Structures are given as C-alpha cells and as structure tokens.
Amino acid sequence: MSGHRVIITQRFFHQGAIDYLRQHGCEPHIAPLPTGQADGKLSHDHLCDLLAGAKGWVVGHARVTEALITALPDLEVISRRGVGYDRVDTAAAARHGRVVCIASGGNDASVADHAIAMMLALGRRFRESQRNMAGGDWSILQGHDLYGKTVGIVGLGRIGQSLVKRLSGFDARIFTPAGWCDAGYARAHNIECVEMDTLLAESDYISLHAPLTDETRFLIDEKALRRMKESACLINTARGGLVDDRALLAALKSGQIAGAGLDTFVSEGDPTYADVSKELIALDNVIASPHAAASSVEGLERTNMIAARCVVDVLEGRTPPAECVVADGRTNAPYRAQTT
C-alpha cells in the first residue's frame, strides 16, 4: 500500500492518529469545515468534492447514502469515529463492496462519565444556583443526591454497561427493560429486568443508550413522559430521535418531570425542530451539550486511533476487529445491530 488518500471530516483528529496513518502509507487530509459546522451539514456535492479519489474516509455525522457511495468508486472503507451508524446506509455499502466500521470501545467511558455528570448537575441544581449567584442571590437551593436512587438504563451495550459500573459507587438501584435484558449480565450486576412501564414509573433518572431504529424512534413520547415521576430526570446521550423533543419541552415547562440532560436533539436531523431545541436549552431545568459526550480529549484520542486502525486494516487487506465491522461488502457478510 502506498499513498492511499484518506479524508478526515472531523475536528480534533490528533497527531498520533495522523502519524499512524502516515506510517502505514496513507496520505491523511483533514477536511476544512466551516466554523461551528460538523460534517453532518455538508451537502452531497461538497462531500463528493472532498472525497474524490479517496480510499478511506474517517467520518463523523455525515449522511452516507447510496447515491454518495455510488459517486465515490475509489472509496474502500468508511470508518466512523463513534459507535452509532444510523446515518450510514450499511446495506448499500455492502452491496457496493465497501467496508463500514465503527470505533467500538473507544468512547464508552467518556459517554458514561457525561451521563453521570448530567445526573449530578440536574440533581444538585448547578445551573440554577450559578445563575442566581451571578445575579447576587446566594440563597441555597435544595437538590437531590444520586446516592441510593433508582436509575433506569435503556440499552445495555458498552456505554450502558460502563454506566452500570459507575452507578455501583452510588449504591443505585438499576432497572432495565425486560425485553432488552441479558439475564446473565443482569444477575451478575444486580440489575432488575422490569417492564418498561415500571421503569418509567419508578425511576428517578432514566438514561438512554439505545440505537436509533424504526422501533426506537420517539421511544420517549408524550405517553411515556406522563408515566414518569414528577421528580424524575431524563438523560439522553444517545440519539435525538429517541425522544419526542416537543413532548419533552411541554413536560419540562409544565413540571410533569423535573429535568433533562440532553446531549443530542431531534433538530440535528430535522431542522423543523430547531426552535424546540432553542427552547429546551433555555430552560433552567435542562443541562445541554452539543452532542459532545464522547468528545473528551482522551475519548477522542481512543476513537481516532480505532478509526485509523480500521482504515489501515482494510487498505492492507485485513479485516478489522469483529466488534468494529458493521458492513463488509468484500465478503457479503451481513452487518449486525450495534447498541450504544
């Protein structure tokens, strides 16, 4: 392999991963992105121009459609710096002989840490307290401990399991939906497999770590929010489409639930929800971040290296680790489902 062009449409791609690609005969190029804009906003034509002649692509949130794949005949491997791949047409990639990889195992700790941080910030009312202090009001707002609370985790993939480890230090009672439950893992970690109605009704915090599919879209809708306790908080560090943000906004404004920690929003994929996102972010009982849960320095370095290694493996004729491969058109191997 010599001089294979690899395009990186991501910020914060660290020098170690760039060096790794170069050491293995690749020519990495970091695409210039407009200030404040991720690759998910790039048009089909813009992506075609950036990726012309590329053998490898390290991608963030761009939509990888069949039309795009067809327009890039030289592209052999699409490597996501992340674990979700709902924006990649994996079936089309397999049909066209391409390989699609994810950075499995790279950001589990970072996202789980972020979810815990959101729970603590909401429970102890950090946002409200600092706003009040900035205005000269130093009166104490009573908050709530995470210690001893009931946490419903929807999705026990790598990130969900990392969250379980952290919650053990808070002596939390953990629920997971019975239909999603690995009984052996649950027994080993004192997790209770319950009906979704029970999880919604009894959890103090509900943390979402599920993939976005037709079945999980708007999993948390108006009906689900009505089942939650008024003192409960919802955490979403997975995918925006798991939650009906309009219903969530109404629930938060009416006091139907106590708060929400949101790292991702429906508006990321549907601009008609932009005003809803703005209203959510402005609420005192919302802790928000711009899809940044995985973006710690350490987490990005880990996922950068996994993404780079997957590119090199494919271009050198090898198969990346099984947990990283979601489509492999070289062998017509079926792609598999991946939870976050």
At 331 the pLDDT is: 76
Number of structural domains (the chain) is: 2
Range of the domain at 91: 4-106+296-328
At 197 the pLDDT is: 97
Helix, coil or strand: residue 17? helix
Q: Do 33 and 61 meet the contact criterion of CB atoms below 8 Å apart?
A: no
Same domain flag for 201 and 231: yes
CATH at 42: 3.40.50.720
**Segment holding 234, helix H or strand E:** strand 233-236
Same domain flag for 145 and 213: yes
Residues annotated as part of the active site: 239, 268, 291
Give the end-to-end CA distance of the chain in Å, rounded to a whole number: 33
Splitting the chain (340 residues) into consecutive groups of 10 residues, what average pLDDT does each group show?
86 95 97 84 94 97 96 97 91 97 95 98 97 97 97 96 98 96 94 98 98 94 98 97 98 98 95 97 97 94 97 97 96 48
Same domain flag for 236 and 321: no
Instruction: Identify whether 338 is part of a domain.
Output: no
Same domain flag for 88 and 218: no
Same domain flag for 181 and 55: no
At 37 the pLDDT is: 79
At 128 the pLDDT is: 96
Distances (CA, A) of 8 to 38, 39, 114, 163: 12, 10, 25, 30
**Distance (Å, whole) CA 301 – CA 322:** 21
Looking up tokens 């943390």 gives: 207
**Distance (Å, whole) CA 278 – CA 258:** 18
pTM score of the predicted model: 0.88
Same domain flag for 173 and 97: no
